[in-house]
Amino acid sequence: MTQQHVTSSAPRIVVGVGPDEVESALAFAADEALRAGCGLHLVHAVSLVPPGPDQVLLPAIDLEAWGAERLAEVVKLADDLVQGAVPVTHEIRRGTAVGVLVDVGRTARMVVLEHRHLSRLSRIVNRTVAGGVAAHLRIPVVAVPGGWHADQRRGVVVAGIDVPGRSEEVLRAALAEAHARGARLRAVHSWSLPGPYEEAMPGDEARRWADRSRAEVRAAIDALGDLSAAMEADVQVVHGRAAEALVKASSDAELLVIGRHDPLVPIGSHVGPVARAVLREATCPVLLASPRPHRAVYHP
């Protein structure tokens, strides 16, 4: 892996450290830091609000002491991964995980988090930290599924395309990631109609619909101005629900890049239902790309 020179002004890659496993997120972030030649910054948030009714409200000093122990463990893991090639720093801050990571992430290159696959009931009520963080940052936010390993590289970066004509930033981010990894770009677009309309649609019309969609995705890739990408990109148009198509596409990818909504109000989650479903179910790391240009981040 090519390593770039580290400069003190280079934005760092931030990793959120909590009570759960973080090894997969750390492995992904360490690879990114080595590739980009930037620092790795580990952050643990200490919230004084108990996470549930069965939890005991612990004194802040106890929570911070536990956080310091947890960070020390993860710092050792990070040091082993980067072998001194890039600096590893860390800090503890008081606040919610989302609030702290949003604050630290404002000057970061990327925020990386690990998520667990939850039970069906938990999925209904859970809003991922990644979704909350991504709703308020313009930099890439990556959710790495627990159990993912750095050796699960399959040479494919998938771009999830919603509306082809408005997918420039997703495609640009996915293309940059594919180039950085020496991977192929695969653009996946899905389409579906309400049940009664699909049942009444002739087979020929369905094929024409798919052909038009494929041409629109190709045109969006061509508009990036990268001739090699336009010629080599694999464009797949899938009949079905977007979340299901993207989760399936993640099964043989090393990275899935999807967009997030552009928030119109400063509160709440704006990643959208498809992105939330993909974050919960994808089997490869998922990069949430900003809906607005952030060229300095996408081009290391």
Q: Residue 291 has what pLDDT?
A: 63
**What does the alpha-carbon distance between residue 102 and residue 269 come to, in Å, rounded to a whole number?**
13
- Put simply, whether the predicted model's pTM sits higher than 0.85 gets the answer no
Percent of the chain past pLDDT 90, that is, above it, reads: 49
Q: Tell me which of 103-112, 183-192, 196-205, 282-291 is least confident.
A: 196-205
What average pLDDT score do residues 106-110 get?
95
Average pLDDT along the chain = 82
Q: Tell me which of 57-71, 91-105, 158-172, 175-189 is least confident.
A: 57-71
Q: Tell me which of 81-85, 250-254, 267-271 is least confident.
A: 267-271
pLDDT level of residue 232 (50, 70, 90 thresholds): confident
Domains, the chain, ordered by start? 9-115 (3.40.50.620), 153-300 (3.40.50.620)
Q: What is the pLDDT of residues 11-48, one digit of tens each?
A: 999 999 988 889 999 999 999 999 999 999 999 998 76
Higher pLDDT, 153 or 5: 153
Q: Residue 261 has what pLDDT?
A: 62
